[in-house]
Amino acid sequence: MRVDDDYLEAVLDLAQRIPPGRVMTYGTIAEFVGDQLVADGGRRRGGPRQVGQVLARAGGGVPWWRVVNAAGSPPASNLSRALTELQREQTPLVAAGLRVDLTAALWWPDSD
DNA sequence: ACATTGACTAATT
DNA sequence: TAATTAGCCAATG
């Protein structure tokens, strides 16, 4: 299988592993996926922007609203939709509910 | 091969 | 605390 497909799958899988009410940042995902690919002998991809690119393209079937930037804000393009989903999953929010409370909601694979 | 762009981040103002 | 700037990685034209 090709490396670019691996990257795509790795990002999507990780995104789908995020439990409801929790979130991950683009940067964290990029680091985890990068390490995973290196362990598999693939090329380093590192790059929060690449993660965003993949999620943007992923479309349906992926809980993209559980992935936010370092400030805790969901994508500006679908901000209202994301906030709706986040509220529905009882994700801790701050600043008038515009951003996610990262100190409380931030999650990563080992924190299961 | 060069320039532009994007669901980013960290540092600076 | 919010807005701006510079750095970053890969895809695209």
pLDDT means per 10 residues, chain A with 112 residues, are 74 95 96 86 81 90 95 91 95 93 92 74
The predicted structure's pLDDT at residue A2: 52
| Matching residue, tokens 């992926």 | A62
The set of strand C positions with any atom below 7 Å of a protein CB reads 2, 8-11
CA A101 to chain centre: 15
Q: In degrees, to the nearest 5, what angle opens at C-alpha A110 toward C-alphas A6 and A3?
A: 10
C-alpha distance from residue A16 to each of A9, A43, A89, A97 (Å): 10, 23, 14, 23
Q: Verify if strand B has an atom below 7 Å from the CB of A85.
A: no
CA distance A45 to A53: 12
Residue with tokens 């994508």: A75
* pLDDT given for residue A3 in this prediction: 55
Neighbours of A74 (CB within 10 A): 24
Say whether the CB atom of A35 is under 7 angstroms from strand C: no
